[in-house]
Amino acid sequence: MSDVQQQIESNPPLQVVFQSNAINLLGLDRAGMEDFFTSIGEKKFRASQVMKWIHQLGVTDFQEMNNLSKDLRTRLSETACVENLKVAQDQISTDGTRKWLLQLMDGNFIEAVFIPEDDRGTLCVSSQVGCALDCSFCSTGRQGFNRNLTTSEIISQVWLAAHLLEEEKKPGRKITNVVMMGMGEPLLNFDNVVRAVRIMMDDFAYGLSKRRVTVSTAGVVPAMDRLGDIIDMRLAVSLHATNDELRDELVPVNKKYPLKELMAACRRFIDKQNARSRITFEYVMLDGINDQPEHARELVRLLKGIPTLMNLIPFNPFEGSGYRTSSKRAVVRFRDILHQSGMTTVVRKTRGEDIDAACGQLAGKIEDKSRRHRRFAEPRFGME
Ligand code: SAH
C-alpha cells in the first residue's frame, strides 16, 4: 500500500438509514420520471427539471429545488428520495486512477473506477454484485455471484464519481466516457443496464454521446441482438480466444454461444448501427495460452469483414489465478501481425495497479450466493 498516494477511508457505518417505500428518483430514466410525475398528478416537464437538479447540479434534497412549488417539494419528500450508495473506501493511484468501494443497502460492496487519460476521463462501472460467468482469468468471477444491481445502484456510481471528481477542482478530472466494464456481465442485467445507459445519455442528466458509452459483454448472443434493436451505442466483446476449444475454457459462456454464433451476432449488431460504428474486441494476453503468432493470424481470419477496434489487455495477475502475463515481446509481435492485416489495434495500458483497480481486479466484497468459489470469496478489506 506504500505507493498509494492518498487513501481516504471512512469509518464503517454503524447503521445506514434508508427510507423505505420511497421511490428512488436516481434510477428513473426520462420516461420513468415522466410516468412518476403523471402518477402524482403533475405535468411531464417536471421530469427534466428534476433530472437536471439531481444529475447535473448534484442536488438530492427536494427542498433545494427552487423551481418547484413548495407543495410539490413537500409531496416529493413524502413519496420519493434520491439515495446514493455509501462510499466505504476512496483511493487514488499514483497514476491518477481513482477507485471507490461502494456499500449497497444489503451489505455487499461493489467497485467503480475513474481512469484519466490525456483526452478523456473514463468511468468504469459495475453492473452486478459479482459475476455468474466464471471466466477462468477474472478475479470478479472467482468471487461468485450475488445479484443484479438496480438502475439506481448503477447510476449512483456515475453520480458519486461525477460529484467527487468535481470536488477535486482539478483540470481533466471529468467523466467524458462510461464503460460498463466493472464487476458483472451487463447483458445479464439487461433492463437495468439499458435504463442506466439512457440516463447517462440524457441531455438533462449526463449528456454522454452514444459513442462514449460502451457496454462490454462476454458474448450473451440473444441479449446482443436485443441491445442492437433498441439502442445505438458502443459494444465491446470480450473475445480472448480464437477457437472454441480454448474459449470454452477461458470464457465458459462460449459453450452456450460458440464463436460462430458470436461472430454472426457481431455482424448483425453492426448492421443495425450507423455506418461509422465498429465493435471493440477485448483480448487478454495470457502467456503461452493465447499469445502466439498463430493465434494472431487466427484472429485476423475470425474478424474478417467486421469493423474492429482491437484492445489487447495485458493480463493482470491475482493470487491463485494460475496464469502469467504475456511478455512485452509476445504482445508486440502479436500486435504487429494484427496491424499488418490493417486491424486498428491498441495495447491497453494497465492503470491503477497499486490500488487493484485494473481490468479483472475489481472484487468488491460480496456474499456469494452461488457458493461456487467459497474459498476465494474471503473479504479483502478488513472492515468488519
Ligand atoms: N462481463 C463483461 C464485463 C467485464 S469487462 C465482459 O466480459 O466483457 C472487464 C474486461 O476485463 C473483460 O474483457 C474481461 O475479460 C477482462 N478481464 C477480466 N479479468 C482480467 C484480468 N485478470 N486481466 C486483464 N483483463 C481481465
3-state helix, strand, coil in the chain (%, to 5): 35, 20, 45
CA distance linking residue 69 with residue 150, whole number of Å: 30
- Report field, pTM of the whole predicted structure over 0.75: yes
Q: Which three cell numbers stand for residue 151?
A: 438502475
What is the per-residue DSSP string for 276-320? T--EEEEEEEBTTTT-SHHHHHHHHHHTTTS-EEEEEEE----TT
Q: Are 294 and 241 contacting, i.e. CB atoms less than 8 angstroms apart?
A: no
Pocket flag, ligand 1, residue 175 (CB < 6 Å): no
Give residue 67 CA to ligand 1 midpoint distance, Å. 44
- Determine if ligand 1 sits within 6 Å of the CB of residue 223: no
Neighbours of 23 (CB within 10 A): 17
Question: How many other β-carbons are positioned within 10 Å of the β-carbon of residue 376?
Answer: 16
| 138 within ligand 1 shell (Cβ under 6 A) | yes
- C-alpha count within 13 angstroms, C-beta hemisphere, residue 7: 8
Would you list the domain boundaries of the chain? 23-81, 84-355
Nine-digit cell string for 354: 497499486
Q: Which of 142, 143, 221, 238 to mutate to test the pocket of ligand 1 (most atoms within 8 A of CB)?
A: 238
Task: Kindly state if the Cβ of 356 falls inside 6 Å of ligand 1.
Answer: no
Topology (CATH level 3) of domain 84-355: TIM Barrel (3.20.20)
pLDDT for 356: 80
Mean pLDDT by 10 residues, the chain (384 residues): 34 42 95 96 97 98 97 96 97 95 95 95 97 93 93 98 95 96 97 98 97 97 97 96 98 98 97 85 98 98 96 92 96 98 93 78 73 42 27
* Residue 266 Cβ < 6 Å to ligand 1: no
Quick one: which of 275, 278, 204 has its CA closest to 236? 278
SS3 string, 191-226, reads: HHHHHHHHHHHCCCCCCCCHHHEEEEECCCHHHHHH
Q: Are 239 and 283 in contact (CB under 8 A)?
A: yes
Residue nearest to atom 18 of ligand 1 (CA): 360
Q: How far is the CA of 85 from the centre of ligand 1 (A)?
A: 24
Helix axes 30-39, 190-201, angle to 10 degrees: 90
As a whole number, the mean pLDDT across the chain is 90
Atom of ligand 1 nearest to the CA of 138: 19
Out of 220, 227, 313, 362, give the residue to mutate to test ligand 1, the one with the largest number of ligand atoms within 8 Å of its CB.
313
CA of 181 to the centre of ligand 1 (A): 7
Q: Is 181 in the pocket of ligand 1 (CB under 6 A)?
A: yes
Closest-CA residue to 27 (of 269, 161, 198, 183): 198
The pLDDT score that the predictor gives to residue 363 is 66
Predicted local distance difference test score (pLDDT) of residue 308? 97
Residue nearest to atom 12 of ligand 1 (CA): 238
DSSP string covering 333-350: HHHHHHHHTT-EEEEPPP
| Closest residue CA from atom 21 of ligand 1 | 360
- Most informative mutation of 113, 123, 137 for ligand 1 (most atoms within 8 A of CB): 137
Rounded Cα gap, residues 92 and 106, in angstroms: 26
Ligand 1 atom nearest 236 alpha carbon: 8
Which residues are part of the catalytic machinery?
111, 359
What is the spatial distance between Cα 281 and Cα 346, in angstroms, rounded to a whole number?
10
Q: How far apart are the C-alpha atoms of 85 and 157, rounded to whole Å?
A: 8
Which CATH code fits 23-81?
A: 1.10.150.530
Confidence at residue 318, expressed as pLDDT on a 0 to 100 scale = 87
Phi/psi region, residue 146 (left: phi>0; alpha: psi -120 to 50; beta: rest), is alpha
CA of 217 from ligand 1 middle (Å) equals: 9
